[in-house]
Amino acid sequence: MSGAMPRYAVFGNPVAHSRSPQIHVAFAAQREQSLSYERIEAPLDDFAGSVAAFFDAQGCGANVTVPFKEQAFALCSSVTDRARQAGAVNTLWQEGGKLHGDNTDGAGLVTDMLHNLGWPLADRRVLVLGAGGAVRGVIGALQSMAPAAITVANRTVSRAQTLAEIFEKTGAINACGFADLAGRFDLVINATSASLAGDMPPLPPGLVDAGSQCYDMMYGDEPTPFLRWASAQGAATADGLGMLVEQAAEAFMIWHGWRPVTAELIASLRN
């Protein structure tokens, strides 16, 4: 294998839609670095076998997307604090024959909001919609920015309450159902899967206004129903494309010790 290009991959199922290869190849080009980056659709019942085969064949690093982030966490000999907090891993590498893991989702979200969008997080009333793995991956990063309070709302209230219990040690956090939401929020983040189905969480009126910001972790060619709803209330909106690129930049830095520039790439992916 000597002389072969360093090999990277993203694992998922499905994974054909992933933009990670395009993003990492573009990052590498910024420093005239050659690497190969492929999509690997791991079988639902043998993610561990796929990862082992990849690293046995001199794989250098891998990203992990749904539905395997929790399984990736379980495979690791050591994980970072933020991966432990998230209970999930989206970035893998090997050292000394052992698998290591990190979770760059929260850092990607916060970097996109602060640096690309110019949205402040300190002292803001933040509402997060959903209580799945995507939310668990970002709450710690949001708390580290010292918001006034974070509310997690979910269709199944018990799942939101479980998340609140995990994170109440690190910051003010509340849990409720969609029907119990009241008052205005400075920032609303949609992390439900509703956008994938072209649906919208059942939100009461009055949650946002022209001074609010609304972020959908999903991204696509058209605004999601959630972002259309937010725009109709006059709120500023953004989709998750910037988060996708920024979490990839964080993974690239873990593997290569160098942080790529992201703004131009986000703009070109948008176009």
Is 130 labelled a binding residue? yes
Is 158 labelled a binding residue? yes
Is 37 labelled a binding residue? no
Peptide bond into 120 cis (omega under 30): no
Q: Which amino acid is present at 223?
A: P
Is 234 labelled a binding residue? no
Backbone φ and ψ of 137, nearest 5°: -70, -20
The strand pair at 98-102 and 125-129 is best described as unpaired
Is 155 labelled a binding residue? yes
| Cα 18 from chain centre | 13
Catalytically active residues are 69
Is 212 labelled a binding residue? no
Task: Report the distance separating Cα 67 and Cα 13, nearest Å.
Answer: 7
Q: CA angle at residue 61 from 60 to 65, to 5 degrees? A: 155
The strand pair at 91-95 and 59-64 is best described as antiparallel
Is 13 labelled a binding residue? no
Is 174 labelled a binding residue? no
Is 251 labelled a binding residue? no
Q: Is 6 helix (H, G, I), strand (E, B) or coil?
A: coil
Q: Is 199 helix (H, G, I), strand (E, B) or coil?
A: coil
Is 247 labelled a binding residue? yes
| Binding region | 18-20, 65, 81, 90, 105, 130-134, 154-159, 217, 219, 240, 247
| Binding region for NADP(+) | 81, 130-134, 154-159, 217, 240
| Binding region for shikimate | 18-20, 65, 90, 105, 219, 247
